[in-house]
Amino acid sequence: MMKTIRVMTPSKEYDALVGEGLVDMAGPEAARVRKPGKAIIVSDSTVSGLYLPRLGTSLRGAGFDTCEFVFPPGESSKNVSTLTALLNHMARRRLTRSDTVFALGGGVTGDLAGLAASLYMRGIGLVQIPTTLLSAVDSSVGGKTAIDLDEGKNLAGTFYQPDLVLCDTRTLKTLPAAEYSNGCAEIIKYAMIRDGELIEELRSPDSGKIEGIIARCIAIKADIVRADERESGARKLLNFGHTFGHAIEKCSGYGVPHGSAVAAGMALITAACFMKGLCGRDCLDGLLAALRGCGLPASTVYGEEELFEAAMGDKKRGPDGITVVVARDIGRCELHEVSAAGFREFLRLGLRWTGGGGEI
Ligand code: NAD
Ligand code: GLY
């Protein structure tokens, strides 16, 4: 059963569709919101081999004139060189403002293609077609686009909402198990900040349920982004586990994938919250069991000093301190402003409990 979530943000309203076979229906679906003109399909070389021909056929069938830009898979492509190559490719293909970028792939593709769409001629059409669980539940919706800089993760980016999100759950069938787990990390994040029952849903993995889980996550994100598109308040809740997670990614030279890093980041912060008396043992144990059940890490090999240094470069740091997303219970998180010293204390306690960084 196809599910539609209306995402209403101050800058744009659009639909996120979740269901089987949407890659093959992309042409007619996109033609409802974008006048068929030129269409550039952006994809990494793994995903392009699997789904780009079918997407191209569907788009051409609906009157789009397609071209493609394919780059090597992985976070290491989410940089200024790939962005420049993509923008130049768009210019060579003479795309105009009435044309459309189709981001076919995971979060790396969506973030990169979304940024290019927002920059090219000051903004052209954008359709997100997520093919990882992580991009389906999180990165394809909400309008954050970015590339990484040498100094840190997602440091150059824009807020730029897509015109449409098409989440074809059939594409998840080719996803490697580890990538599926990475997506579960973001689902557990939604469970921690808003909807604890998602943990129960994940516990009984029945492939028929995944559409419902994705739709629930998108609905939570849509609700939060409607209230705070540009992350001045409530949207910061979506960063639960991310400040430590981004630091882990950076320390690993982006060898640890985003989902796994966020999983370890959520374990660290929740362990620290437990030790500070901010949440109960049930909350911490529930999170750790959920992470274990999904084959996700709950600790990191990196130590306090290197994680602290890496986190200090994260954009979630303000001039006076850092906003920490604190777990109070499963389904309930809060924002706490802390100083650098206070942040270091969270890190130290989290590492001590989870046994990372050689602390115990
Ligand atoms: P990814 O895009 O690198 O995809 C992971 C791997 O899966 C890649 O090797 C890719 O080739 C492969 N793959 C993708 N779809 C496949 C399929 N259907 N079958 C087989 N293989 C497939 O990574 P990701 O985990 O999807 O996304 C992580 C990125 O998303 C990070 O850069 C992170 O910062 C970003 N992110 C952004 C937001 C946002 O709001 N914009 C939110 C969360 C994460
Ligand atoms: N992934 C965090 C956000 O979209 O705000």
In one-letter notation, the amino acid at residue 158 is: T
Give the Cα separation of 308 and 340 in Å (integer): 9
Chain center to CA of 114: 12
What is the chain's mean pLDDT, rounded? 95
What spacing in Å lies between the alpha carbon of 348 and ligand 2's midpoint? 25
- Ligand 1 in reach of 77 Cβ (< 6 A): no
For 220-255, how does the pLDDT look when each residue is reduced to its tens digit (9 = 90+)? Answer: 999 999 999 999 999 999 999 999 999 999 999 999
What is the predicted pLDDT for the residue at 358? 40
Token pair in block for residue 180: 């599926």
Model confidence at 283: pLDDT above 80: yes
Catalytic residue chosen out of the listed positions 38, 246, 250, 344: 246
Active site residue 231: yes
Find out whether 353 and 275 touch, Cβ atoms under 8 Å: yes
Active site residue 336: no
Active site residue 221: yes
Find out whether 166 and 128 touch, Cβ atoms under 8 Å: yes
How far from 198 is each of 33, 83, 245, 286, CA to CA, in Å?
32, 35, 21, 12
Give the Cα separation of 47 and 53 in Å (integer): 10
Find out whether 222 and 5 touch, Cβ atoms under 8 Å: yes
- Ligand 1 in reach of 142 Cβ (< 6 A): yes
CATH class of the domain whose range is 229-354: mainly alpha
Do 229-354 and 3-174 have the same topology in CATH? no
For 193-209, how does the pLDDT look when each residue is reduced to its tens digit (9 = 90+)? Answer: 999 999 999 987 666 78
Q: Which helix (H) or strand (E) holds 118?
A: helix 107-119
For 49-58, how does the pLDDT look when each residue is reduced to its tens digit (9 = 90+)? Answer: 999 999 999 9
Domain parsing of the chain, residue ranges: 3-174, 229-354
The phi-psi region of residue 321 (left if phi > 0; otherwise alpha if psi is between -120 and 50; otherwise beta) is left
- Ligand 2 in reach of 235 Cβ (< 6 A): yes
What spacing in Å lies between the alpha carbon of 89 and ligand 2's midpoint? 28
Model confidence at 356: pLDDT above 70: no
Identify which of 282, 297, 291 has the alpha carbon closest to the alpha carbon of residue 356. 297
Of 127-136, 155-164, 351-360, least confident by mean pLDDT is 351-360
Give the Cα separation of 307 and 89 in Å (integer): 37
Find out whether 277 and 298 touch, Cβ atoms under 8 Å: no
Q: Which of 145, 154, 238 to mutate to test the pocket of ligand 2 (most atoms within 8 A of CB)?
A: 238
Chain center to CA of 24: 24
Find out whether 289 and 176 touch, Cβ atoms under 8 Å: no
Question: How much of the chain exceeds pLDDT 90, in percent?
Answer: 92
Verdict on whether the full-model pTM lies above 0.85:
yes
Q: How many CB atoms lie within 10 A of CB 278?
A: 18
Q: Which helix (H) or strand (E) holds 19?
A: strand 13-19
In one-letter notation, the amino acid at residue 31 is: A
Model confidence at 316: pLDDT above 70: no
Catalytic residue chosen out of the listed positions 221, 236, 250, 344: 221
* Ligand 1 nearest atom to the CA of residue 114, by list position: 41
What is the predicted pLDDT for the residue at 317? 66
What is the predicted pLDDT for the residue at 204? 75
Give the Cα separation of 94 and 195 in Å (integer): 45
User: What CATH number belongs to 3-174?
Assistant: 3.40.50.1970
